[in-house]
């Protein structure tokens, strides 16, 4: 059994990733590091980086890899992340980010990369019914398409590294949480 948690959570928008990330971080005493939250905080603070990132996020595009890698590198190097471990939510989102994360952690490795799997039709229904202002049909389709194009290749990347764990994301939040804990505990036993 390894020390502090080192985990990446993957999942389409609407898969329940954010909610499960908060609960898992609490369960494992680890930091929940959400790059979406960090970017929104930078936007709210009105920093130069926040202003640029805000424009990109409004378009539904991805913030450049080198910016994101810099932000995550800085955050993971802080003593609290080193001491308590982390659960990354929203990063990596591209293969370049995944490669940078591997390099940043070396010689250590992630415990696991957990993909919360929810079929496309189901996440579409969920996003339409939650009705956030930015969840127009067009925005939903754009973000889902970007995920398939940029983020789903990560599944192959981590599968090749033997780190991928797939958890069925259908069912209640509690059911999915219980499945996640079982999967993560098993992966950590192996790592
Ligand atoms: P979502 O609502 O898509 O689950 P997040 O809260 O994780 O999104 O992120 C919101 C936005 O922040 C993304 O649409 C993207 O513009 C930007 N973002 C967050 N993380 C990253 C990342 N790792 N790489 C590039 N852009 C990112």
Q: Output the DSSP codes for 115-133.
A: EEE--HHHHHHHHHHH--T
Question: What's the token pair of residue 107?
Answer: 């010689």
Residue whose entry in the numeric block shows the structure tokens 């890899």 = 65
Determine the distance separating the centroid of ligand 1 and the alpha carbon of 190, expressed in angstroms. Answer: 31
Determine the distance separating the centroid of ligand 1 and the alpha carbon of 127, expressed in angstroms. Answer: 16
User: How many Cα atoms occupy the beta-carbon half-sphere of 108 within 13 Å?
Assistant: 15
User: Cα separation of 112 and 189, whole Å?
Assistant: 11
Using an 8 Å Cβ cutoff, are 12 and 67 in contact? no
Nearest atom in ligand 1 to the alpha carbon of residue 17 is 4
User: Cα separation of 121 and 37, whole Å?
Assistant: 26
* Site to substitute for ligand 1 among 12, 33, 40, 63, most atoms within 8 A of C-beta: 63
Nearest atom in ligand 1 to the alpha carbon of residue 34 is 7
Residues 6+ away with beta carbon under 8 Å from 151: 10, 93, 94
Q: Is a pLDDT exceeding 90 seen at residue 142? A: no
User: Cα separation of 188 and 91, whole Å?
Assistant: 20
Phi-psi group of 90: left, alpha or beta (phi > 0 → left; psi -120 to 50 → alpha; rest → beta): left
Residues 6+ away with beta carbon under 8 Å from 93: 35, 62, 68, 150, 151, 154
Name the more confident of 88 and 2.
Answer: 88
Q: What is the pTM for the complete model shown?
A: 0.93
- Which is nearest to 110 in space by CA: 63, 157, 143? 157
Q: What is the pLDDT confidence band of residue 96, given thresholds at 50, 70 and 90?
A: very high
Q: Is a pLDDT exceeding 60 seen at residue 1? A: no
* DSSP type of residue 62: P
Lowest-confidence range among 73-87, 104-118, 142-156, 175-189?
A: 142-156
- Cβ of 96 below 6 Å from ligand 1: no
Give the model confidence (pLDDT) of 4-42 as tens digits: 999 999 999 899 999 999 999 999 999 999 999 999 999
Q: What is the pLDDT of residue 137?
A: 85
Question: What's the token pair of residue 49?
Answer: 């980086």
Nearest atom in ligand 1 to the alpha carbon of residue 143 is 3
Determine the distance separating the centroid of ligand 1 and the alpha carbon of 33, expressed in angstroms. Answer: 12
Determine the distance separating the centroid of ligand 1 and the alpha carbon of 84, expressed in angstroms. Answer: 24
User: Cα separation of 152 and 141, whole Å?
Assistant: 15
- Give nearest CA residue, ligand 1 atom 19: 36
User: How many Cα atoms occupy the beta-carbon half-sphere of 70 within 13 Å?
Assistant: 7
- Cβ of 13 below 6 Å from ligand 1: yes
Q: What is the pLDDT of residue 178?
A: 98
At residue 145's C-alpha, the angle toward residues 142 and 146, to 5°, is 85
- Cβ of 36 below 6 Å from ligand 1: yes
Q: What is the pLDDT confidence band of residue 109, given thresholds at 50, 70 and 90?
A: very high
């Amino acid at each position: 059994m390894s020390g502090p948690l080192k985990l990446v959570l993957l999942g389409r928008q609407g898969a329940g990733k954010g909610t499960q990330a908060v609960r898992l971080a609490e369960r494992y005493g680890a930091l929940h590091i959400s790059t979406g939250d960090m970017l929104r905080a930078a936007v709210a603070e009105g920093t130069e980086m926040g202003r640029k990132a805000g424009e990109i996020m409004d378009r539904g595009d991805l913030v450049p890899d080198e910016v994101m890698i810099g932000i995550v590198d800085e955050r993971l190097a802080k003593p609290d992340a080193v001491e308590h471990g982390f659960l990354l939510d929203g990063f990596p989102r591209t293969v370049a980010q995944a490669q940078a994360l591997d390099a940043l952690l070396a010689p250590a490795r992630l415990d696991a990369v957990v993909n919360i799997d929810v079929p496309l039709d189901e996440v579409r229904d969920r996003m339409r019914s939650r009705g956030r202002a930015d969840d127009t049909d067009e925005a939903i389709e754009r973000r889902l398409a970007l995920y398939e194009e940029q983020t789903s290749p990560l599944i192959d990347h981590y599968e090749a590294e033997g780190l991928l764990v797939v958890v069925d994301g259908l069912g209640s939040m509690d059911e999915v949480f219980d499945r996640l804990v079982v999967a993560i505990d098993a992966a950590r036993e192996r790592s």
